[in-house]
Chains A and B, each alone.
Chain A
Amino acid sequence: MSISRREFLESAAAASALAALSGLPRPVQAAGGEKWVKSVCRYCGTGCGLYIGVRDGKVFAVKGDKDNHNQGFLCLKGFLLPQILTAPTRCLYPMIRKDGKLVRASWEEAMSLVASKFKEAIEKYGPDAVAFYGSGQGLTEETYVANKLFKAGIRTNNVDGNPRLCMASAVGGYVTTFGKDEPMGCYEDIDHADVFLLVGTNTAEAHPILFQRIVRRKEKAPGTKVIVMDPRRTPTARIADLHISFKPGTDLAILNAMAYVLVHEGYVDEEFIKNHVVFGEGTETNKSFEDYKAFLAKYTPEKAAAIAGCKAEDIVTAARWFGARGKASMSMWTMGLNQRTEGVWANNLVHNLHLITGKIGTPGSTPFSLTGQPNACGGVRDGGALSHLLPYGRLIANEAHRKEMEKLWGVPEGTLKPKPGPSTVEMFQKVEAGEIKCLYIMCTNPGQSLPNVGRYRKALQRDDVFVVVAEAFHPTRTSELADVVLPAAAWAEKEGVYGCAERRYQLLEQAIPPSGEARPDFEILCDLGRRLGLGHLVPYKTPTDIWNEILTVCKGTVYDFTGMTRERLRQAHGLLWPLPTPDHPGTNRRYVKGEDPFVPADWPHRIKFYGRPDGRAVVWMRPFKGPEEAPDAEYPMYYTTGRVIEHWHTGTMTRTCKELVHANAEAVAELHPADAQKLGVKTGDKVKITSRRGSQVFKVKVTDTSRENLVFVHMHDDQHLCNLITIDALDPISKQPEFKVCGVKVEKA
């Protein structure tokens, strides 16, 4: 006798009764009305495909999409996603601050107030008195509407987003080295790599499904080498063949020393360099390979090791593995390199390793920046929703680009302002200075996530600053400071596109209606546009209307994904741009002849870096420079922040999942045993960590995975703000803050 899957699952219902109590997925039932809706995970930039299980109008489960790149796997956060939708902290109706308190209001009342405040500020002080602060979590369509409304409608370039806090240096690295943003490689490269250089990334916790793919590659190809460069011995180091721990902020010296070894031990690919590379210093590309060799002389492994506090022989080993002839080498990095005052330079130095060895553009050989948010790439970077950008690689400061966008957006020539607006931290400094009077914050939590956050929390509380927060959750550490809170539809309650780390665009279909009175962000923005008299610029009724316009805007750019019609996205399990025609399969490897549609078939070489006018990538000579604030006598320890696997960003969502809160309840200060002994503390005791900007008390966790003289705190706890301590110094090129390094003193509390 055979039983059906459904019968089997029904028979298991009793065993799963407890799961039902905990809000976790239950076996599917025979009852009608059940459906599985194709979507993408709400959390990190890996972009794992999943199906949302809906029964009786409610989300009851998720399961991984085995036809997507994640092959059906989800990490533990993704698995628990259904809980966020019914969290008690869901924001279900508009609120207005009255007599110091946020009280319930109607949409009409709230939107009228927002529109009148914006109108008043614009009329009295000009368009630059208002600003938009967006998110790498907004859907592409939502971010596009905001960008257009503010830049072409209100006529201000005060538009920035939280990708400035995480990806700006990666953008700067790609643009300065290759001429265009976004990686040339893809996830599939993991399956071909022989050597992984993981630098400044705790992949196991921040990108678990990509970590799993690396593990599988290592299992399948036993000779595979994994090099992990991180001051802490993180869970990622479990698979390391070589873990290099170093003083925070010294990796530029190590990366240059690796290049020194590659050059001096004959690992360079002279032919590749001759055909594809130029050398540069500062902003000029007028140097030679000989100049580069002379530059590297300062970075022998011994000298770099002395700077970094690591072993010279480990640097040599890492370089030899990376450069080994016939081996494919893939580098990955994230905030360890990006959240630095030398973030762009650090990115350049990783690219250098690939360019001098020619290990780029072949399966398994690529520099690959990992992304932290699900749509930082697709929505904000590609969509051009930063203060210096216009959509799809166009620049505010470029007159031809402005004219092109004015034409596409149907606004008079000269509408778009030529001067870039402020970057994120600079924007909040303008709020602090009283120059920005109205701020619209969408789908992000700067009241917790900004560096030196105490300073900017005060700015947001100025009496003369009007703060609007559109958010699916309340209270957050930002919405608590708002004058108006607008309830936004959450993941699964709306439709739109996410673009993840590998240029993969995917459609998230709507599974259920918005909760309470919540509305999709694009609808709220269109409503604001109409009330400001700009409805003609944002006349959209559906996300598809917006997407169809976006397809006209990307056309003819190097991003061209004109072939990604809504219907094709609906059918596909992710598509990689460029994809310029409906019959194009998508592009795994950019700049590669035969794969990238923009490399001519008769191009004489296997690769063309067409992002730069000369078709060549740049090997930049970037000297070692330490962090803005290294430890000193007064603040003698290094302080760094980062992720843990259970939580995500400011915890707005993950801290609503009881299992995740149980497993990792609060941010703790991880201390090396030697430091704990010096301080006279043990696990469970409390310490007060103080920097020049602020202090916070944390419980202690003593662990030998930390490095001596380093204290690590995770960033997800809304009640223990790690960012009261961090520094708001910026990379001069990317304007990304140096969250990763500052000096602190630690005392027993």
Chain B
Amino acid sequence: MKARLLVGLLVVLPLVLAAAPPKKTRAVHPQVDTQEACDVCHREVTPEVVEAWYQSRHGLMNVKCFVCHGTVGPEFVRRAPVSRCVGCHNDKVDSLANPFFKGKDCFSCHAGHELNPHKIGGGK
């Protein structure tokens, strides 16, 4: 449990910071036992994030953590780049070319994890 809490602290911080606009600093998810799915730990350490995802469209459709965030270690992605959205939402990504969206990405409007349509206010 202690190990999980430590992992949690290391993980929560970058996730909270993900509310900020994209930065060039890299968040690195600590290496953990990759025999376990993300939610095994995160139900304990970031239950609100897991719950927000679970109740979202992505949660209902089983679009799981790794689709946006990658896997652990250096391959972890804190704030999903549009390249991770383009697989399913390529027409929406195209719309980002509109000058109105200058400097914005998908999570500028669709709050991370809840992903409610057009919930203005930035990612969570």
Contacts and interface: CB of A to CB of B under 8 A. Distances in A.
Interface of A: 1-5, 7-9, 12, 14-16, 18-19, 21-22, 24-27, 61-64, 66, 72-76, 78-79, 204-205, 208, 211-212, 215, 235, 238-239, 645-646, 658-666
A61 B105 contact: no
Contacts of B64: 76, 645-646, 663
Interface in B53-103: 60-67, 70-72, 74-77, 79, 81-84, 86-91, 93-94, 96-97, 99, 101-102
B81 A645 contact: no
B82 A18 contact: no
Given A5-B97, A25-B86, A658-B75, A18 B60 contact: no
Contacts of A204: 61-62
B10 to A, nearest CB: 17
Contact of B84 (A19, A62, A208, A645): A19
Contact of B71 (A16, A215, A235, A659): A659
A662 B62 contact: no
A61 B87 contact: yes
23 contacts: A1-B99, A4-B97, A5-B94, A19-B81, A21-B74, A24-B84, A25-B83, A26-B83, A61-B83, A63-B86, A74-B87, A74-B88, A75-B62, A75-B63, A79-B88, A204-B61, A208-B61, A211-B61, A659-B70, A662-B34, A662-B38, A663-B64, A665-B35
Contact of B97 (A1, A8, A64, A211): A8
Given A15-B79, A25-B83, A215-B61, A662 B66 contact: yes
B119 interface: no
A730 B36 CA distance: 36
A12 B84 CA distance: 12
Contacts of A24: 70, 83-84
Task: Say what secondary structure dominates the interface of chain B.
Answer: loop
A78 B76 CA distance: 20
A5 B70 CA distance: 24
Contacts of A78: 87
B32 to A, nearest CB: 9
A14 B83 CA distance: 11
A301 to B, nearest CB: 31
Q: Which 7 A-B pairs have the closest CB atoms?
A: A5-B97, A16-B81, A659-B66, A79-B87, A22-B75, A63-B90, A2-B99
Contacts of B99: 1-3
A486 B62 CA distance: 36
A21 B75 contact: yes
A209 to B, nearest CB: 9
Contacts of B71: 22, 658-659, 662
B24 interface: yes
A197 B74 CA distance: 45
B72 A25 contact: no
A666 B81 CA distance: 29
Contacts of A74: 87-88
Nearest to B79: A15
A347 B41 CA distance: 42
Contacts of B67: 76, 79, 659
> For A2, A63, A204, A238, which residue has the most chain B Cβ atoms within 10 angstroms?
A63
B22 interface: yes
B89 A18 contact: no
Nearest to A64: B88
Nearest to A53: B86
Contacts of A658: 71, 75
B95 to A, nearest CB: 9
A7 to B, nearest CB: 8
Contact of B83 (A12, A659, A660): A12
B53 to A, nearest CB: 13
A164 B82 CA distance: 41
Given A3-B99, A18-B26, A72 B83 contact: no
B62 A12 contact: no
A666 B35 CA distance: 8
A26 B84 CA distance: 8
Contacts of A660: 66
Given A66-B91, A235-B62, 13 more contacts: A5-B94, A9-B93, A14-B24, A16-B81, A18-B70, A18-B77, A19-B70, A19-B81, A27-B82, A64-B88, A208-B61, A212-B61, A662-B37
B96 A5 contact: yes
B72 A662 contact: yes
A9 B82 contact: yes
A27 B88 contact: no
B96 A73 contact: no
Contacts of A4: 97
Contact of A663 (B38, B84, B88, B101): B38
A232 B36 CA distance: 22
> For B65, B83, B86, B102, which residue has the most chain A Cβ atoms within 10 angstroms?
B83
A25 B61 contact: no
A60 to B, nearest CB: 9
Contacts of B34: 661-662, 665
Contact of A19 (B38, B83, B93, B105): B83
A85 to B, nearest CB: 16
